[in-house]
Amino acid sequence: MTGKVLVTGGSGYIAGFLIRQLVDAGWTVHTTVRKLSREARVRQTLGLADDRLAFFAADLENDAGWADAMAGCSHVAHVASPFPLGVPSHPDELIVPAREGALRALRFAKEAGVRRFVLTSSMAAIAYGHGKGVRMNTEADWTNINDPGVMPYIRSKTIAERAARDWVAAHGGDMEFASVNPAAVFGPLLSDDISTSIEVVKQLLEGKVPMCPDVGFGIIDVRDVADLHVRALTAADIRDERYVCSGPFLKMIDVANILCANLGERARKVPTRRMPDWLLKAMALLRPELKQLVAELGNVRGGDSSHAMTTLGWTMRPPEEALLATAHSLIERGMVKV
């Protein structure tokens, strides 16, 4: 099945790979960027100059441009969402655009007669606020946003997905809805504009992390995230589905060990020692952005992706492949000095 599909946030990491996979499969793709002045750069990044990719200016917090972007589309992948490197000065800086952007996209999709809407959510909406310890999460789990340790980005993804699902239940009618909930996304780079997760590998390679704190994340390759979106867009009989999109949960020291074992001299700056918990807590007194790491000390927040694998025939690359693809891209692009 092919047709016309809107992918929001066309300059983003996941969206770039998704657009390329959809065009390769024969779809005509509309995509949004905040300013059309970015079109030439994004086209060059994607390597797509043909007429099956069209750009529209649209912002998560403004109605302008959304009707034009949706026109003629039968499917939507709403990928755009704020994801900063630092902690915002107020949670609403993330919550409002994430929630209102999702609701805005849904409203215009309904008005345009879109048949299927796939939301890029996150494991952030599933795996947090459940207390300390080891936990394997499924699609049935939701982050507890009332837990004081839940940070603004995690709250924003949870609130946005819940709001989207509530809106679809009340107003969606026949429109089919699904969410894809990725863990930390790694893999090859299309440009020098890197995502927050890629920054982890970059800082390890540069030796900016002196020791590895006892924190971790599920690992997933961006190419597999895009593939799961395509399957969610095209599979038959999908309604109110939710797909965990996560490979194994690795601690920071595991990531460092993979880099060291495979990159030789190029990984000479990668830390090989674990950071004592007390040291991270002391550092967080001087650097408030580290408090979110302190809250995660010792936790394992795994994700069970068997539902997507069983129902959609989806598979994923091993975490080593995703992490090393990131490292090689960073080195080849000269983005790290090793």
Reported as a single tens digit per residue, the pLDDT across 160-210 is: 999 999 999 999 999 999 999 999 999 999 998 888 899 999 999 999 989
- Type of residue found at 193: D
| Res. 337: pLDDT tops 90 | no
Average pLDDT over residues 70-83: 91
Told to judge if 157 belongs to the known catalytic residues of this protein, a careful annotator would answer yes
Judged on CB neighbours under 10 Å (0-12, 13-18, 19+), 212 is buried
Residue 307 lies in a domain: yes
Share of the chain above pLDDT 90, in %: 85
Q: Is 311 helix (H, G, I), strand (E, B) or coil?
A: helix
Q: Is 21 helix (H, G, I), strand (E, B) or coil?
A: helix
Q: Is 91 helix (H, G, I), strand (E, B) or coil?
A: coil
Of 111-125, 226-240, 268-282, 289-303, minimum mean pLDDT range: 289-303
Confidence of residue 91 (pLDDT cuts 50, 70, 90): confident
Confidence of residue 89 (pLDDT cuts 50, 70, 90): low
Residue 284 lies in a domain: no
User: Given 110, 132, 157, 291, which residue is catalytic?
Assistant: 157
| Distance of alpha carbon 10 from alpha carbon 80, whole angstroms | 8
Residue 117, domain extent: 4-188+218-248+300-317
Please state, in angstroms and as integers, the Cα–Cα distance from residue 67 to each residue in 46, 59, 165, 187, 232, following that order: 24, 12, 21, 33, 23
Give the chain's domain count: 1
| Distance of alpha carbon 239 from alpha carbon 231, whole angstroms | 13
Residue 65 lies in a domain: yes
Residue 325 lies in a domain: no
Residue 294 lies in a domain: no
Average pLDDT over residues 69-88: 82
The DSSP call for residue 125 is G
- Token look-up 């940070």 returns 151
Residue 286 lies in a domain: no
Of the candidates 93, 77, 92, 81, the residue with the CA atom closest to the CA atom of residue 125: 81
**Residue 72 belongs to domain with CATH number:** 3.40.50.720
Residue 212 lies in a domain: no
Confidence of residue 124 (pLDDT cuts 50, 70, 90): very high
| Distance of alpha carbon 245 from alpha carbon 243, whole angstroms | 6
Using one digit for the tens of pLDDT, what is the confidence trace for 272-327? 999 999 999 999 999 887 888 888 999 999 999 999 999 999 999 999 999 999 99
Residue-averaged pLDDT of the chain: 94
73-78-84 Cα angle (round to 5): 150
Phi, psi of 220 (to 5 degrees): -145, 145
Residue 228 lies in a domain: yes
